[in-house]
Amino acid sequence: LAGVTVGVNEPYSPADRVYFTLERHARPLGLPCAMIEIRNDEISDEAGQRKWADLLTGIFSDLEPSSGSQGSGRRGL
């Protein structure tokens, strides 16, 4: 992830209740979940959108085999 700044709970923390969607929709179903925030200026044009789509596709493709053993098996939520 060269050139990508990654922060944990920055600028928000669980105290800000930013995880409501995860707590409401994913965790009760036992689904693996994560929150990703991308700065607007990073995806303001087609080139930036493609860059992030490709980057996230690669990351999620690498994670897919391990996620199959968790949750209810429901997809597309």
Bigger pLDDT: 61 vs 65: 61
Is the predicted pLDDT of residue 2 greater than 90, yes or no?
Answer: no
pLDDT tens for each residue of 17-48: 778 888 899 999 998 888 888 989 999 999 99
d(CA 65, CA 43): 28
- Residue 41 is predicted with a pLDDT of 94
Residue labelled with tokens 């700065």 = 39
pTM across the whole model: 0.61
- Residue 48 is predicted with a pLDDT of 95
Query: Nearest 5°: CA angle at 45, between 39 and 48?
Result: 60
